[in-house]
Amino acid sequence: MKRLYETLKDDFEKWNSEEYVYEKINGEVHSYTFGNFIAGVCDIAKSLIDKGYKDQYIIIFGDNSCKLMQVDLASLVYVGKSVVVSKEWKEDDLSYAIERLEAPVLLYGREKEEIVKGLKDKYNIDFICFDDFKEEGNNCFNYDLPHNNYEECCKIVFSSGTTGKPKGVMLSEKNILAGYNSLIRRCPFDHTDSTYVFLPLNHTYGNIYNFIYSLIAGYKVYLSSGTTEISKELLEYNPTIFCMVPKVAEKMLEGYGDNISIAFGKNIKYIFCGGAALDRSIRQKYKDAGLNMMQAYALSETASSFAIAYPYSDDLESAGTIFEDLEVKIFEPDENGVGEIIAKGDAVFLGYANDEETTKKVFDDKGYFHTGDLGCIKDNKLFIKGRKKRMLLTYNGENVSPEDVEEKLEQNEYIKKATLYQKGNKICANLYVEDFDVDYNRIIDAFNESVPKYQRIDEFEVLKNSIENRLKQ
Task: Show the domain range for 55.
Answer: 1-148
β-partners of residue 375 are 339, 384
Count of positions (residues) in the chain: 473
Q: What is the pLDDT of residue 399?
A: 62
Q: What is the pLDDT of residue 419?
A: 87
Average pLDDT score over the chain:
91
Lowest mean pLDDT among 78-82, 209-213, 227-231, 461-465: 461-465
Could you tell me the pLDDT band of residue 142, with boundaries at 50, 70 and 90? low
β-partners of residue 21 are 32, 221
Residue 224 and residue 323 in one domain: yes
Q: Which residues of 57-91 are buried (b: 16+ CB within 10 A; e: fewer)?
A: bbbbbbbbbbbbbbbbbbbbbbbbbbbbbbbebee
Q: Which amino acid is at 462?
A: V
Cα–Cα distance measured from residue 243 to residue 206, given in angstroms and rounded to the nearest whole number: 8
Residue 126 and residue 186 in one domain: no
Residue 421 and residue 358 in one domain: no
Q: Does some domain include residue 158?
A: no
Q: What CATH number corresponds to the domain at position 434?
A: 3.30.300.30
Q: Which amino acid is at 381?
A: K
Calculate the dihedral angle through the C-alpha atoms of 417, 167, 457, 278, rounding to the nearest 10 degrees: -130
Cα–Cα distance measured from residue 74 to residue 39, given in angstroms and rounded to the nearest whole number: 10
Check pLDDT > 50 for residue 472.
no
Q: What is the pLDDT of residue 159?
A: 75
Higher per-residue pLDDT: 260 or 436: 260
* 3-state SS, residue 279: coil
Q: Which residues touch 227 (CB under 8 Å, ≥6 apart)?
A: 198, 248
Residue 220 and residue 136 in one domain: no
Q: What CATH number corresponds to the domain at position 55?
A: 3.40.50.980
CA angle 221, 224, 227 (to 5 degrees): 150
Residue 42 and residue 110 in one domain: yes
Q: Does some domain include residue 143?
A: yes
End residue of a domain, out of 389, 413, 448: 389
Q: Which residues touch 450 (CB under 8 Å, ≥6 apart)?
A: 90
Higher per-residue pLDDT: 18 or 144: 18
Check pLDDT > 70 for residue 385.
yes
Q: Does some domain include residue 154?
A: no
Average pLDDT over residues 457-472: 69
Residue 348 and residue 413 in one domain: no
Query: What phi and psi values does residue 158 have, to the nearest 5 degrees?
Result: -80, 120
Q: What CATH number corresponds to the domain at position 304?
A: 3.40.50.12780
End residue of a domain, out of 115, 148, 181: 148
Lowest mean pLDDT among 183-197, 212-226, 227-241, 271-285: 271-285
Q: Does some domain include residue 6?
A: yes
Lowest mean pLDDT among 167-176, 220-229, 251-260, 387-396: 387-396
Q: How many Cβ atoms from other residues are within 10 Å of residue 292's Cβ?
A: 18
Q: Does some domain include residue 155?
A: no
Q: Which amino acid is at 243?
A: C
Residue 210 and residue 266 in one domain: yes
Query: What phi and psi values does residue 224 have, to the nearest 5 degrees?
Result: -65, 145
Q: Does some domain include residue 156?
A: no
Cα–Cα distance measured from residue 262 to residue 258, given in angstroms and rounded to the nearest whole number: 10
Q: Does some domain include residue 167?
A: no
Q: Which residues touch 445 (CB under 8 Å, ≥6 apart)?
A: none
Average pLDDT over residues 201-221: 96
Q: How many Cβ atoms from other residues are within 10 Å of residue 399's Cβ?
A: 20
Q: What is the pLDDT of residue 393?
A: 56
37 near 70, Cβ under 8 Å?
yes
Name the residue among 1, 3, 19, 5 with its Cα closest to residue 218: 19
Q: What is the pLDDT of residues 104-135, one digit of tens each?
A: 999 999 999 999 999 999 999 999 999 999 87
Residue 96 and residue 184 in one domain: no
> Total domain count for the chain?
3
Higher per-residue pLDDT: 386 or 281: 281
Check pLDDT > 90 for residue 277.
no
Residue 104 and residue 28 in one domain: yes
Q: What is the pLDDT of residues 29-55, one digit of tens each?
A: 999 999 999 999 999 999 999 999 999
Residue 405 and residue 362 in one domain: no
End residue of a domain, out of 148, 183, 209: 148
pTM for the model: 0.83
Q: What is the pLDDT of residue 46?
A: 93
Q: What is the pLDDT of residue 2?
A: 94
Q: Does some domain include residue 168?
A: no
Residue 472: which H helix or E strand, with range? none
Check pLDDT > 80 for residue 378.
yes
Q: Which residues touch 80 (CB under 8 Å, ≥6 apart)?
A: 48, 53, 54, 55, 56, 57, 58, 148, 154
Residue 209 and residue 137 in one domain: no
Q: Which amino acid is at 52?
A: G
β-partners of residue 419 are 430
Residue 247 and residue 130 in one domain: no
Average pLDDT over residues 384-401: 65
Cα–Cα distance measured from residue 226 to residue 198, given in angstroms and rounded to the nearest whole number: 7
